[in-house]
Structure 1
Amino acid sequence: MPEDESLPERIRRKKNQLSVSQQKVARYCLTNSQKAGTLAALRIAEELEVSESTVVRFAVKMGYRGFPDMQAAIRRAWESRAEEEQPVARGQIAGKAADSLRVDLNSLQQTIAALDLGRLAGAADALVKAQRIHVCGFRTSFSLAFLAEFHMRQVHRSVRLIDGVGGTQPDDVALIEPDDALLAFTFPVYDDRTIDTIERAVDVGAQTVVVTDSALAPLPIARQLHTLTVRHDSVTFFNSTVAATALLNALVVRMVELRTDAEPGFEERITDHFQQKRSPARDRP
């Protein structure tokens, strides 16, 4: 195992070897990196209601010499990210609203730092080449799915939003074919409808792109599965969609690039198309 391999990368490779208790530790390290990098193993165990030995065994399972070695790696990772971040003056805005803005900014920066651009390019290529793109996301992820469908139908000849209105979700999922692609958004709490849709797409051999929070998402293992992880931290009850929206934008931009490579002038045509749709501003007295 490479010494410089990050903890998220190690978790992604070994997630299927983890016990239920070790998965709790893994999720804690991914979503509470500052606490994981400072608290004693016993304190982490108490918070997660697991044994201290489970925390220690998890560190060894990840390829570290022990818990202190893993903790030092976690600290180095978030200290490195902190150095790259531009500080926001606390006095500018007060209260939880300011905390929310800072968390969204940090989530976006951490997502960019950890993003595998090769994986992003592969996902865009799979979507562009598909006969038809199906898009799904439920609960707080529905806004992401709706936005994805809106943008991608300008770039691809056939895009469908699986929205489940009228209880049609099983029927919509049954329409996924091997030459199609699925773009799905799922975050904790992972909606069963999204997971069922992903499993159907994988079963029929369709290229499947999933935007989620970590390697611990309950996804099937398949060669045609493209997983893109983003941070979704929030200071309150809902998942933040800031980083996921930015990644979606990047995905669409790459799709436009691929279409333009194959059809010179495509980007100009689509830009002109949108500009012509804009209503001219009315003269005001």
Structure 2
Amino acid sequence: MNDNHDLMRLIQIKFPRLSKGQKLIAEYILKNYDKAAFMTAAKLGVSVGVSESTVVRFANELGFSGYPKLQKALQELIKNKLTSVQRLQLSNDYISEENALKGVLKADMENIRATLEKINHKTFEDVVHSIFNAKRIYIIGLRSSSALAEFLGFYLNLILDNVKIIGNGISDVFEEMINIGEGDLVIGIGFPRYAVKTIDALEFAQSRKSKVVAITDSLVSPLASQADYTLIAQSNMASFVDSLVAPLSVINAVIIAVGMREKEKISKTFADLESLWKEYQVYSYNKNGNESR
């Protein structure tokens, strides 16, 4: 395989000619290639319900000299991920207008389930601890991850007073991080396809001796290689749209864990905010003065 990005298409093209057992393997890889990439042939066989020899023959059928070569191709695929055009081609094959709602919701449910299995609870506690120990907290997430960064920053700003969201606007990312140093914390958020500037920002933070937290999809993610702590959230979706449900759920958990340690402060903050919101009509209220739902 000269181009690992073509692997998913190759499996689809070969699919009609595969044996029954090999088709089960193909379906599993197409839906769970990030898991399959780190499974032995025996483990993949057990997960699918076929023999190890069937897995090896499947690799041969795709043109690989053995299963290790197929596994390496899958791992390369995770590093580089699919282009938007290739993801669009996959979505056309697996998600139609008729089953879009059910298909996407089921995929998001699977992403949350897989995230619950993969995420390291000790690392999660270390991240929360690091947030409280940091002098300043910088949050960066670009392109599709910018929504996640804004969400995390919005709520942490209500709880803490040392949070800064790094944007990709008029000023350069590095200009916004110019004063970063030891004792500070950078939270980088990125999912395939990874924004280069986010990776560079985390590398810059480490060079300034700041702590780095990555919220990303895999321990082989380029963000993870620049991080002290990595929170894994699965974002697989056979579509041109990123699945950010599981990442958002992890971010929610971080916000709530931080908030629970600052209950008294949050209670006062929200009491003040409620008065301001009502006075300046931030939200819609009914005639009885209660907030409309």
Give the TM-score, by structure 2 length: 0.66
Instruction: Please show how residues 106-121 of structure 1 align to structure 2 within 5 Å.
Output: 106-121=110-125
| Shift in CA distance, 257/167, structure 1 to aligned 2, threshold 3 Å | same
Q: State the match for 2:157 in structure 1.
A: 153
Q: Secondary structure at the match of 1:160?
A: strand
Q: Distance in 2 between matches of 1:167 and 1:97?
A: 39
**Which of 143, 146, 152 in structure 1 is aligned with 2:147?**
143
1:247 aligns with 2:250: yes
| Shift in CA distance, 180/162, structure 1 to aligned 2, threshold 3 Å | same
**Counterpart residue identity of residue 54, structure 1:** P
Q: Deviations over 1:235-268 (max 9, x none)?
A: 31121111111111110111122334xxxx2232
Instruction: Please show how residues 2-81 of structure 1 align to structure 2 within 5 Å.
Output: 28-30=33-35, 37-38=47-48, 40-44=55-59, 51-52=65-66, 54-55=68-69
**Counterpart residue identity of residue 265, structure 2:** F
| Shift in CA distance, 56/237, structure 1 to aligned 2, threshold 3 Å | closer
Query: 8 Å contact 2:36–2:44 — kept in the other structure?
Result: no
Unaligned runs of 5+ in 1: 1-20, 59-92
Following TM superposition, by how much is the alpha carbon of 1:131 offset from its aligned partner in structure 2, in angstroms? 1.1
Q: Distance in 1 between matches of 2:64 and 2:70?
A: 11
Query: 8 Å contact 2:214–2:224 — kept in the other structure?
Result: no
**Counterpart residue identity of residue 267, structure 2:** E
| Shift in CA distance, 31/250, structure 1 to aligned 2, threshold 3 Å | farther
Following TM superposition, by how much is the alpha carbon of 1:221 offset from its aligned partner in structure 2, in angstroms? 5.0
Q: State the match for 2:90 in structure 1.
A: none
Count residues with an aligned counterpart: 222
| Shift in CA distance, 270/199, structure 1 to aligned 2, threshold 3 Å | same
Following TM superposition, by how much is the alpha carbon of 1:283 offset from its aligned partner in structure 2, in angstroms? 2.1
Q: Deviations over 1:212-248 (max 9, x none)?
A: 00111024657x7110001102231121111111111
Q: Deviations over 1:43-87 (max 9, x none)?
A: 34766x7542534887xxxxxxxxxxxxxxxxxxxxxxxxxxxxx
Q: Distance in 1 between matches of 2:33 and 2:69?
A: 10
| Shift in CA distance, 272/201, structure 1 to aligned 2, threshold 3 Å | same
Q: Secondary structure at the match of 1:272?
A: helix
Q: State the match for 1:268 in structure 2.
A: 267
Q: What is the alpha-carbon root mean square deviation over aligned residues?
A: 3.3
Structure (1 or 2) with the larger CA radius of gyration: 2
Following TM superposition, by how much is the alpha carbon of 1:273 offset from its aligned partner in structure 2, in angstroms? 3.4
**Counterpart residue identity of residue 135, structure 1:** I
Following TM superposition, by how much is the alpha carbon of 1:95 offset from its aligned partner in structure 2, in angstroms? 0.7
Q: Secondary structure at the match of 2:179?
A: coil
Q: Deviations over 1:130-175 (max 9, x none)?
A: 1111111111111001111111111111211111202511212333
Unaligned runs of 5+ in 2: 8-28, 49-53, 73-96, 279-283, 289-293
Q: State the match for 1:87 in structure 2.
A: none
